[in-house]
């Protein structure tokens, strides 16, 4: 009789455990679905601006999905709040980085606007000076043939870099455009000094 009662008690405990597990399955499944939905809404920006942080969050989700497959619903319910906080943190980090990049882009746009107006004048002035010196019977005393040839080679590189800067700006990459334009500006100043030209 005692054995029968004990067996019944064991069966009852197993049944209650099964009910308990079943009652945890739904919230555990929902927690993962909610996390994936929240992540989906910010994934594009996160992948672009904070990929490492995104990878960490995706790793956590995959780990909890493994727990779901194994029926370890408690691990999911326990881990869900931390995951929710991680996704919120990821969202904030992506937005902050995006704002930073956008601000840098606006700054670069302004710099490019000035450079794209000034640098072609510098290129034209140097080109004109090289033409005049190339036609002259004799180079100025502070400029020998080797120095003049180096200036001409540098001028070709300068024009090429200016073309690349313009192409970058046309495609919307103003940060790269400004970087290349800065190279043009520095090279131009170097050539002007070599050719005895004054800026301004």
pTM metric for this prediction: 0.65
What pLDDT score was predicted for residue 11? 40
Q: What is the mean pLDDT of each run of 10 residues along the chain (200 residues)?
A: 43 41 81 94 96 96 93 91 94 96 92 94 94 89 90 94 95 94 94 82
Per-residue pLDDT, 197: 86
Q: pLDDT value at position 62?
A: 95
Please tell me the predicted confidence (pLDDT) of residue 136.
86
Distance between CA atoms of 145 and 139, rounded to whole angstroms? 8
H/E/C letters for each residue in 122-151? HHHHHHHHHHHHHHCCCCCCCCCHHHHHHH
Quote the pLDDT of residue 23: 76
């Amino acid at each position: 009789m005692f054995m029968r009662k004990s067996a019944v008690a064991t069966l009852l405990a197993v049944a209650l455990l099964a009910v308990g597990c079943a009652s945890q399955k739904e919230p555990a499944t929902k927690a993962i679905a909610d996390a994936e939905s929240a992540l989906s809404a910010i994934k594009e920006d996160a992948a672009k601006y904070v990929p490492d942080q995104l990878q960490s969050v995706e790793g956590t989700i995959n780990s909890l999905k493994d727990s779901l497959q194994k029926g370890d619903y408690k691990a999911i319910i326990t881990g869900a709040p931390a995951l929710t906080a991680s996704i919120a943190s990821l969202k904030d980090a992506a937005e902050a980085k995006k704002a930073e990049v956008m601000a840098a882009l606006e700054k670069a746009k302004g710099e490019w606007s000035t450079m794209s107006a000034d640098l072609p004048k510098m290129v034209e002035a140097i080109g004109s000076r090289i033409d005049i010196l190339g036609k002259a019977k004799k180079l100025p005393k502070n400029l020998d043939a080797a120095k003049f040839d180096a200036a001409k080679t540098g001028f070709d590189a300068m024009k090429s870099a200016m073309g690349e800067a313009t192409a970058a700006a046309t495609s919307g990459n103003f940060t790269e455009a400004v970087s290349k334009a800065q190279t043009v500006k520095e090279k131009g100043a170097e050539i002007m000094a070599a050719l005895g030209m004054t800026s301004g």
